[in-house]
């Protein structure tokens, strides 16, 4: 039987309007929802009875609050955000099975403990044996203290990726046991921190391959990076600087900004570095030797970029 062109168009239109996505298995739908902001995922409950409880099985959460951008009633806006986060965490079918969480918000005001305690509760809720990725971006008032990370975070056995940015306080004492054996990627962009705390954290990351480290050193000290690294980007954002010890034979990419080169600088062979960027300065005329040693260690790199300040040091010395 020959179907008329008008009939073909009608059939095609019906097929285009058919809800095919709702027939996908729950696992596939949850995977799709994991790429969306959690607020959007929760709103899918309004679509139909098929979607009503689907989001409650999420193991990947994305929470982002923009109340810090508003001058008008930021505290009230944060409470609305907190209501969403608390509601989601309370209604998850298996809250201990969270695999990934990204959280971006204001953690506290000097007169608002609600924010501080809320953020701590949320971060603690994500910490567990199934956590693979944690991304934490926090904002705060100038007079408010930075958010102190729960000690339990430093012993997550299956954590693969950790990103800490903004008003996050990293303070690790000698008595604190750091064990992150599965961590492959660590990104830190924070304010003032003791180099000893940074070293204590890195010392517990035996398998780390990618390190993006940015902070302001409180005193001149040596940063010791793990030997397992393949990519290293490090920035010290104040005049104190920090010495650097690099003993990573598998390193392929190196980006150093504002590291102090002096007697404390230690360099080992870097035979596999392909690309490097250097923005460094010596502490005195006598410290040019380790800087030259660094150039020698990177002689096999295919791409070597030098900042203007580094080039001037090399020329004039």
Question: Domain of 297?
Answer: 170-180+192-317
pLDDT tens for the chain, residues 1 to 317: 455 555 555 445 555 566 677 778 888 888 888 889 999 988 887 877 778 888 889 999 999 987 555 555 667 788 889 999 999 999 998 888 899 999 998 876 555 667 768 899 999 999 999 999 999 999 886 667 788 899 999 999 999 999 999 999 898 876 678 999 999 999 999 988 888 899 999 999 999 999 999 998 877 788 889 999 999 999 887 666 677 888 899 999 999 887 766 555 667 778 899 999 988 765 554 556 767 777 778 888 899 888 876 766 554 44
Query: Does the residue 216 lie in any domain?
Result: yes
308: exposed, middle or buried (Cβ count in 10 Å: 0-12, 13-18, 19+)? exposed
Which class for 72: exposed (0-12), middle (13-18), buried (19 or more C-beta within 10 A)? exposed
Task: Assess if residue 81 is contained within a domain.
Answer: no
- Report the alpha-carbon distance of residue 210 to residue 233 in Å, rounded: 8
Residue 255 lies in a domain: yes
| Residue 162 DSSP SS3 | strand
CB 204 within 8 A of CB 173: no
Crossing angle for the helix pair 308-316 and 288-297, to the nearest 10 degrees: 120
| 274 located within any domain | yes
Identify whether 150 is part of a domain: no
Round to whole Å and give the CA distance between 278 and 313: 12
Q: How many CB atoms lie within 10 A of CB 271?
A: 12
Total domains present in the chain: 1
Is there a contact between 68 and 106 (Cβ–Cβ < 8 Å)?
yes
What is the reported pLDDT for 295? 79
pLDDT for the residue numbered 238:
67
pLDDT score for 143: 67
* pLDDT reported for residue 67: 59
């Amino acid at each position: 039987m020959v179907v008329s062109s008008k009939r073909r168009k009608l059939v095609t239109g019906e097929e285009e309007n058919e809800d095919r996505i709702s027939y996908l298995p729950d696992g596939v739908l949850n995977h799709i929802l994991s790429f969306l902001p959690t607020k959007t995922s929760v709103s899918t409950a309004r679509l139909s009875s098929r979607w009503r409880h689907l989001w409650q099985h999420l193991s990947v959460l994305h929470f982002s609050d923009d109340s810090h951008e508003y001058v008008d009633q930021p505290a009230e806006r944060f409470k609305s955000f907190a209501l969403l986060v608390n509601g989601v965490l309370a209604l998850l079918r298996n809250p201990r099975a969270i695999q990934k969480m990204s959280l971006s918000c204001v953690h506290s005001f000097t007169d608002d403990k609600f924010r501080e305690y809320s953020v701590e509760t949320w971060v603690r809720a994500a910490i567990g044996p199934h956590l693979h990725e944690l991304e934490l971006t926090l904002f705060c008032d100038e007079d408010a203290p930075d958010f102190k990370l729960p000690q339990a975070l430093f012993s997550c056995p299956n954590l693969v990726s950790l990103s800490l940015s903004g008003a996050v306080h990293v303070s690790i004492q000698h008595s604190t046991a750091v064990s992150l054996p599965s961590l492959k990627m660590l990104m830190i962009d924070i304010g003032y921190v003791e180099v000893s705390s940074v070293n204590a954290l890195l010392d517990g990351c035996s398998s780390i391959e990618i390190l993006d480290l940015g902070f302001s050193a409180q005193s001149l000290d040596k940063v010791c990076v793990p030997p397992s690294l393949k990519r290293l980007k490090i920035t010290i954002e104040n005049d104190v600087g920090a010495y650097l010890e690099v003993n990573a034979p598998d390193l392929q990419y190196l980006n150093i900004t504002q590291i102090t080169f002096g007697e404390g600088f230690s360099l080992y062979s870097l035979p596999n570095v392909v690309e490097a960027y250097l923005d460094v300065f010596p502490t005195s005329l006598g410290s040019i030797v380790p800087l030259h040693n660094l150039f020698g260690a990177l002689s096999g790199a295919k791409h070597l970029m030098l900042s203007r300040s580094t080039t001037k040091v090399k020329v004039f010395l």
